[in-house]
Amino acid sequence: APPTPRLRADEIAAIDAAAIWHPYGSARPGTPPVVVESAAGTRLHLADGRSVVDGMSSWWAAVHGYAHPVLDAAVTEQLGSMAHVMFGGLTHEPAARLAQTLVDITPDPLRRVFFCDSGSVAVEVAAKMALQYWRGQGIHGRTRMLTWRGGYHGDTVTPMSVCDPDGGMHAQWSGVLPEQVFVPAPPVEHDPAYVAVLEETVAAHRDELAAVIVEPVVQGAGGMRFHDSAYLRDLRRICDDHGLLLIFDEIATGFGRTGEMFAADHAGVAPDILCLGKALTGGYLTMAATLCTDHVAQVISDGEMGVLAHGPTFMANPLACAVSSASLSLLASGDWRGQVAGIGEHLRDGLADLRDLPQVADVRVLGAIGVVQLTRPVDMDVATTAALDSGAWLRPFRDLVYTMPPYVCSPDDLDTIVAGIRAVVTAHG
């Protein structure tokens, strides 16, 4: 067949405007998205000829950068034998290899892996595991989840219900979603008074709660807030005392971003259920995973349904499994710890003095995450232009200008990202 003719950038933009939804997009005319032609290393190559450093890792995912030869080769090699097969009644080496690695690198009691196709689905599956855990024991009243305000767990219905109902991304849906139990977001420093509130709330709702679900150490898209990892130990104890399941959503924090392989490792705490996604595939393909303990798996399997009632069409896609294993091998053989620590240091040095500006409410850095919080929401058009003109791709939201760059960023790349953040902040002075 003759090669398909390439679309020009203006043709792409026209089709996009007429026919495509973007994340949280509108069909009303607005600022068009930036057309990107290719990506390599830490850079996005734009159709207008500019090449910019990606400060977002495509939303926490592309930790090794783009077009990494090892990841490219993993996909190509897997493509040579099998792009996809159904996972009902079939299994394959890419899934087995990845499952074994995930069991090996996650906290010890997590031994069983459910492969999902997105982070939101991983949270849905975690919630379903928790519900089935109680139903499996003949207890039908324990259906709600307790969570922190200020969280973000995804965009399907159950994750939406455990996002912040007050001012969070899904606040406009309150009254429609399953009703969950909320406690305030944890303070940055460990505070026994806050732990007492947590404990009281759990005790008050104990008989209706199936699980506690939180983002450990970093609340991401709900506000880019950090908190002391000691709260994870408190949660573990409280859940144990009340016989509750503990779910950690490490879809954003997993795979080294906070300075430990998993945020739970800061506190040496193991949840009963763990959600992973985003950087799992090194940002190459859509894939997530929900892990649980043997105990949870056994109770579900012995329960009235006898099965975990979930089975996506593209479950355990071999290409995604193969590239995930390759990404985890890169982490295992590389110096992600040093890279993340170096990025943190660079961001701390580069952003600290912004704290003195009147339009800046806070500057915070943890692991390879840098956040500048303004005193008012950013103007997205102004912010995008300011960042791109500095050579960086950034995607602020609300009052937050932030970066979680690929681990492979050079000091020059990080200088460019810092310059981009500074330009966005300055443009809002």
Q: Take residue 127 and report the two structure tokens written for it.
A: 């919630």
Known catalytic membership, residue 249: yes
Site for ligand PLP in 132-171 (CB under 6 A): 152-154
Task: List the catalytic residue out of 54, 228, 249, 265.
Answer: 249
Burial class (CB in 10 A: 0-12, 13-18, 19+), 89: exposed
Part in contact with ligand PLP (CB under 6 A); list of ranges 69-77, 114-122, 133-141, 325-333? 114-122
Identified binder of ligand PLP from the candidate list 39, 74, 146, 221, rule CB under 6 A:
221
Terminal-residue alpha carbon distance, the chain: 55
Q: Which two tokens stand for residue 348?
A: 């701390």
CB of 158 to ligand PLP, least distance (A): 11
Strand order in the sheet with 209-214: 110-116, 288-293, 273-276, 245-249, 209-214, 144-148, 181-183
Examine residue 254 and tell whether it contacts ligand PLP (CB under 6 A).
Answer: no
- For ligand PLP, the nearest residue by Cβ is 119
In angstroms, give the least distance from the CB of 152 to ligand PLP.
6
The reply to whether 119 sits near ligand PLP by the rule CB under 6 A is: yes
Residue 128 annotated as catalytic: no
Q: Considering the rule CB under 6 A, would residue 293 count as an interface residue with ligand PLP?
A: no
For residues 428 and 379, is the Cβ–Cβ distance under 8 A?
Answer: yes
Binding mask 262-291 for ligand PLP (x = CB under 6 A): ---------------x--------------
**Residue 215 binds ligand PLP, judged by CB under 6 A:** yes
Q: Is 351 in the site for ligand PLP (CB under 6 A)?
A: no
By CB under 6 A, which span of 26-34, 118-126, 266-274, 345-353 interacts with ligand PLP? 118-126
**Nearest distance in Å: CB 215, ligand PLP:** 5
In the bound complex, what is the minimum distance in angstroms from residue 251's beta carbon to ligand PLP?
4
Q: Any idea of the CA torsion for 178, 276, 217, 354, to the nearest 10 degrees?
A: -100
The yes or no reply on residue 246 touching ligand PLP (CB under 6 A) is no
Residue 389 bears catalytic tag: no
Q: What contacts 162, CB < 8 A, 6 or more positions away?
A: 123, 145, 147, 151, 153, 180, 213
Binding residues for pyridoxal 5'-phosphate: 119-120, 249, 312-313
Report the interhelical angle of 294-302 vs 119-135 (nearest 10°). Answer: 60
Q: In angstroms, how far is CA 375 from the centroid of its own chain?
A: 25
- By CB under 6 A, the residues from 38 to 77 that bind ligand PLP are 59
Q: Angle at which helices 230-242 and 192-205 pack, to 10 degrees?
A: 30
Q: Please tell me the chain's helix, strand, coil percentages from 3-state DSSP, rounded to the nearest 5.
A: 40, 15, 40
Q: Which residue, 75 or 221, has its beta carbon nearer to ligand PLP?
A: 221
Please state, in angstroms and rounded to a whole number, the distance separating the CA atoms of residues 224 and 374. Answer: 12
227 contributes a contact to ligand PLP by CB under 6 A: no
Look at residues 240, 282, 12, 247 and name the one whose alpha carbon lies nearest to residue 128.
247
**So which residues are the catalytic ones?**
24, 152, 249, 278
**Sites of contact with ligand PLP (CB under 6 A):** 59, 118-120, 123, 152-154, 215, 220-221, 249, 251-252, 277
